[in-house]
Amino acid sequence: MLLPEDGGGDDTSYTLVVFTRKGCQLLATAVSVRGESIEIRTSRSIDLPTHWPSRMRGGLLLHGDLYMLGKKHILVFNLKSSNTFLIKLPDGVEQLDRMGNLKLIRRGDSGLHLVHLSGLQIHVWHRVTDCNNSNGNGGDWELVDTLCLRRWIGQALRPGWESGNPSVGDAFVSLRRVEDNAELFLVVDRVIFHVHLADRTAHKVFEMAPEQDVRFEIHPLMMVWPPTFPEILKHDHDQYE
């Protein structure tokens, strides 16, 4: 995983983190490049839970710690001390196989947040992190927000959908992306929604046709709307005819 400098930095500074796993043991190697200087640091190996996923998805960099989601724990690698440790998820919360139901998020300097999609509800958990802490002791999880999707995206839900469980015929609801400013992108069957937690707003972004319902990624960006395009001069137009 290639990481920028935490909190910014010049274009010549970056850190490459490589996780090496053998059985239930894992170690992390960080290669930091700053101009012409290269520093390599390796952690001690850590025992992973038996249910740890074979592939780890994208992580979150916060206050010098790299957070990686597992099934029931979060793997933390401290870039400064090279320590690795595990944080247990809140009771009753776990990452489901092949379903987007958990995402990590940072909200200013308030610490680590976890967004949990459970059926037709979104729960936001908060855990205080200490910038000087590298041993995993950062306090307990606290439930700080709950959002009922039926109220905000009810127009996309059929009357019989109650639990958000596709195995009983309900809609397939997936949490596809979370942005740092508490913005979420959800997929309800083939409809993509943009949800803003702080403003309590939800907007339909796009509805896919059945033939478009394939594996995809969401990469939001900001731009001026409506866009303005440079005027095409006549000789430029003739050149491309």
Instruction: Please give the backbone phi and psi of residue 235, each rounded to the nearest 5 degrees, phi first.
Output: -70, -30
238: left (phi over 0), alpha (psi -120 to 50) or beta: alpha
Name the stretches of the chain with pLDDT < 50: 131, 133-138, 168-169, 237, 240
Q: Token digits for 99? A: 């379903």
What is the per-residue DSSP string for 42-75?
EPPPEEPPTT--SS----EEETTEEEEE-SSEEE
pLDDT for the residue 4: 60
Kindly state the helix (H) or strand (E) to which residue 59 belongs, with its residue range: none
26: burial class by Cβ within 10 Å (0-12, 13-18, 19+)?
buried
> pTM for the full model?
0.77
pLDDT, tens digit (0-9, with 9 covering 90-100), for 19-46 = 999 888 999 999 988 888 899 999 999 9
CA 222 from centroid of its chain's CA atoms? 18
Residue in 148, 100, 96, 94 with CA at minimum distance from that of residue 120: 148
